[in-house]
Structure 1
Amino acid sequence: MSTYRVVVTDQVFPTVDIEREMLAEIDAELVVASGGREEVLTVAQDADALLNTYLPIDADFVSSLKRCQVVARYGIGVDNIDLEAAASADIAVTNVPDYSVEEVAAHTLTLLLALLRRLPEGVETVRAGEWNIGRTRPIRRLSEVTVGLVGFGRIAQRLARSLPPLGVRCVVFDPFLSDQARATADEHVSFVDGLEELLSSVDAVSLHCPLTPETRGLIGREQLERMPSHAVLVNTSRGPLVDLDALIFALKSGTLRGAGLDVVDPEPPEDTGRLMVPGMLVTPHMAFYSEEALQESQLKATTQVINTLTGRPLDYRVN
């Protein structure tokens, strides 16, 4: 019988060979759960640690865990885990905040450039059997464009470094940013003190916020109406940051020119057809993905489990 029991609550990776090999070194058995919440809980209730991706772990789930010491989430956000309930039960919660920074920044830049250069309209022109630039007008030179970043964490900072070489100006709104972080930011980045000020003064907005009660619905009809009608919105963070109905209305009514989404609310969308509106570019929550990023996530999340079970310090505790 193994010394420890570690349960994967929802398996999304091609294999869990990385986890199994690492955990074997501390005599830990790895069990991959399947089924719905109740089936997973039956398997997980006697676990010493959980590895988690999307499965919600609420207060009732936490209270059913008999000896769990840590819930290690493979991703960055932890909005699917009740952090207070876990802390009250003396269960550490960890994430991997730095595993896909390069990938998400690159994906965000791709969406931004595609919208600013009006690639969706260009592709539709050719599909319609036409060969002219009528549908793509107007396009502005990138050196005349300002991009606004809402939130300035690791991903946004990496994205911001990629904009000046293209001639793009960058404006940031982040009410939680320290004075030191502002002082050490790239010289090409400027800061504003209000979301409304940013929305009304830029050609593109990119969201880089965690999902919290305060940020849910951060971009709704009122905020979209503040943006210039030629502007575009990109969201590669969390779907509920944006009121999807308000966004679709803004695109259809011409209040907003374009939007690039890698995340929506809910996921998966109940009706993908409603996302196929002019000006909307949607990808299936893939910004985080590269083979290297997946392996890094598996390695780092499993390391947090091992550190907890062997009494070592944690790298990424969030509660």
Structure 2
Amino acid sequence: MKKWKVVVTDWEYADLRFEENVLLRHDSIKLVSAQCKTEEDVIEACRDADALINQYAPIGRKVIEALEKCKVITRYGVGVNTIDLDAATEKGICVANVPDYCMDEVADHALALLLSWTRKITLANHHVKNGKWDFKVTQPIYRLRGRTIGLVGFGKIPQMLAEKVKPLGLKVLAYDPYFPKHLAEEKGVALVELDELCAQSDFISVHAPLMEATRGMIGEQQFARMKKDAIIINTSRGPVIHEKALVDALTKGQIAGAALDVVEEEPIPKDHPLLSMDNVILTPHAAWYSEEAAAEMRSKAAMGVVDVLIAGEYPKYLVNQKVKERVELKPSRPEQRYQSL
């Protein structure tokens, strides 16, 4: 019997029980775990692999070209910035992600950051624990109802956030050049240009994916248009916001504050100016996390391998659609397999 070699390039979990539960029910799969840090590490561990499951290890063109028989690379989570998609497509390798495992969690986290900053929860907690019992340290606080939140990007997560904030009395704007205006209106959301969103919003929540077109898209020009009492929230990717422009806007008082789950460099450097600002809330790229979301992400990443190697289908969450021009697999019919997760 042919054995498919599946390598987990790197992982930060206590074990691989969810991956094993999906993959090792198939006798034809051999699972190998590694902790690759560099491209050379990946090449050494994966040169003869049939499939890769990736977390942070770099899989650039050099790695792709060294892979001798790889058919699919899946990545934990939504982003695939660790993988050279063009090189994978040229080599006929399917790349898959898990785009739907933590939608509620991220929307909830964005809402929690908004409420925590607006009600000055983090600031008040710090002062109380340091012996100061005085509500005036939180001034000013403004009523939430009647204010406006602007969503940068209007995919599934910001759509969920929109539904969560409407009962709080917030008006919702969104900027997304790819989303149909009439569909946004059906959801009770006004689709506007980015400049208008920045000028009108009291809260700006960033949900755009990181790509060249979105890198630094919230920068000096956008901060200059924002209200002085506006706050910006980011649960997408750090580089979508131009960080130096953000620091300057906070320092100059162009905006009131920020609540960030992601930053340009993670972990954030110990001397970063954001760490010393009382009007900034920081969490450690944790918006995605719940026990249920982690289990779903890991299981679905493994199932993307099964889609290709065992079922002979394109993976359910195929990212590089153009690979279909280079490799012929069966259409994706994953319903029964994914119901078992």
* Superposition TM-score tier, normalisation by shorter sequence: over 0.9
Deviation at 1:261, TM superposition (A): 0.7
Q: Offset at 1:2? A: 6.0
Equivalent positions of 1:1-319 (< 5 A) are 3-26=3-26, 27-37=28-38, 38-179=40-181, 181-185=183-187, 187=188, 189-192=189-192, 194-271=193-270, 273-276=272-275, 277-310=277-310, 311-319=312-320
The question of whether the paired residues in 2 share the 8 Å contact of 1:252 and 1:278 is answered with no
Residue 288 of structure 1 aligns to which amino acid in structure 2? W
Q: How far apart in 2 are the matches of 1:54 and 1:219?
A: 25
For 1:100, the aligned partner's letter is: C
Q: Which amino acid aligns with 1:208?
A: H
Q: Which amino acid aligns with 2:152?
A: V
Q: CA deviation at 1:265?
A: 0.9
Measured after TM superposition, the shift of residue 68 of structure 1 is 0.4
For 2:69, what is the secondary structure of its paired residue? coil
Gaps of 5+ in 2: 321-341
CA RMSD of aligned residues (A): 1.6
Alpha-carbon distance in structure 2 between the residues aligned to 1:77 and 1:117: 32
Deviation at 1:34, TM superposition (A): 1.8
**Offset at residue 120 of structure 1 (A):** 3.0
TM-score, normalising length: structure 1? 0.94
Give the superposition deviation at 1:245. 1.9
Aligned residues: 316
- 4+ runs deviating over 6 angstroms: none
Letter in 1 for 2:15: T
Indicate the SS of the match to 1:139.
coil
Mapped to 1, the partners of 2:306 and 2:163 lie a distance apart of 35
User: For 1:294 and 1:124, how far apart are their aligned partners in 2?
Assistant: 30
CA contact (8 A) 2:94 2:315 kept: no
Per-residue deviation, 1:136: 2.0
- 8 Å contact kept, 1:2–1:29: no
Q: Which amino acid aligns with 1:145?
A: R
Q: Bigger CA drift: 236-245 or 120-129?
A: 120-129
Change (3 A) 1:125 1:179: same
For the 8 Å contact 1:5–1:28, the answer to whether it is kept is yes
Shift of 1:217: 0.5
Of stretches 209-218 and 241-250 in structure 1, the one that deviates more from structure 2 is 241-250
Q: Which amino acid aligns with 1:157?
A: Q
Could you tell me which amino acid in structure 2 is paired with residue 19 of structure 1?
Answer: E
2:318 & 2:184 partners in 1: Cα distance? 25
Partner of 2:335: none
Q: Percent identity?
A: 42
Moved more, 235-244 or 11-20: 11-20
| Shift in Å, 1:179 | 4.5
Deviations, residues 140-165 of structure 1 (Å, cap 9, x unaligned): 21112111000011110111100111
Superposed displacement of residue 57, structure 1: 1.3
Q: Distance in 2 between matches of 1:147 and 1:57?
A: 37
Q: How far off its partner does 1:231 sit?
A: 0.5
TM-score (norm 2): 0.88
- 2:221 is aligned with what amino acid? E
1:205-260 per-residue CA deviation (whole Å, 9 max, x = no partner) reads 00011101010011112211211110000000001111222212222221111101
Distance 2:90 2:213 in 1: 23
**Structure 1: 5+ residue stretches without partners:** none
